Amino acid sequence: MTDAAALPGQPRGGVLSGPATERAVNVLAPNASAMTLDGTNTWIVAEPGSDLAVVIDPGPLDGGHLRNVVDTAEKAGKRIALTLLTHGHPDHAEGAARFAELTGTRVRALDPALRLGDEGLAAGDVITVGGLELRVVPTPGHTADSLCFHLPADRAVLTGDTILGRGTTVVAHPDGRLGDYLDSLRRLRSLTVDDGVHTVLPGHGPVLEDAQGVVEFYLAHRAHRLAQVETAVENGYRTPAEVVAHVYADVDRSLWPAADLSVRAQLDYLREHGLI
């Protein structure tokens, strides 16, 4: 068995649902799959002693899950006052409108199409609810509308799909762009170096205790894959399907459709930089 401390980011073992930091509690959605890992992590975040809470990524349109999120907050003496989205993929956002009905909250997101209420989210925004402070960090790449939320009091960052608790993230071509994603990883690395962030609260998978370590791993992994794709093209593998079959031969074939999206994003990046 591999020691979790030796894995990228030092994933925390044990049950995924429940308290993760002093201010963050996870409610795991029942939508496990090869792409969503154990399911979507729906985060309830609140300042200790406050009766107000923020929910990040209500998850899929699953009535039982959405009710469970509300019940979990209420059992802790919290009223949900605001809903935030890291991005618009259905496993994170499909339940947002129904959740807003259940809680009477606004939904704030980068994409105007996902918002309920007049106020969106933008780089540099600071969200304060009941003494809680969350800072909006733009992290496009997985999707164009991807955001992370810096929780300075817990030295933590909620990453959606930009960083996962296990494995690596798909840059979802054509909406996602590899150059943007690499810039976003560097932005997150700056949070670990300059702001002392050490905990990753991901959109899927376990909490990570070594934020800087996982960001460095992601950057190294992307550089390695990009070099493999560049070499594959030089060796005559031209189409995305050909590159996937060559470069991702060791990956479960059920994940090849996601790998195809990633390869398309990598090919675009190589073309834009004159490397192929």
Rg (CA), the chain: 19
pLDDT in tens, 186-227: 999 999 999 999 999 999 999 999 999 999 999 999 999 999
Closest-CA residue to 111 (of 93, 127, 133, 126): 93
Which domains are seen in the chain, by residue range? Answer: 18-273 (3.60.15.10)
Nearest to 215 by CA among 164, 154, 151, 144: 164
The reported pLDDT for the residue numbered 127 is: 98
Task: Record the tokens describing residue 179, joined without a space.
Answer: 């150059």
DSSP state for residue 114 in the 8-state scheme = G
Q: pLDDT grade, residue 4 (50/70/90)?
A: low
pLDDT value at residue 62: 98
User: Distance (Å, rounded) from C-alpha 133 to C-alpha 239?
Assistant: 46
The position carrying tokens 């993230």 is 169
pLDDT-derived band at 5 (thresholds 50, 70, 90) equals low
H-assigned helices in the chain? 63-75, 90-93, 96-103, 178-194, 211-234, 240-247, 256-272
What order do you get walking across the sheet with 18-19 strand by strand?
18-19, 24-28, 41-45, 52-56, 79-84, 107-108
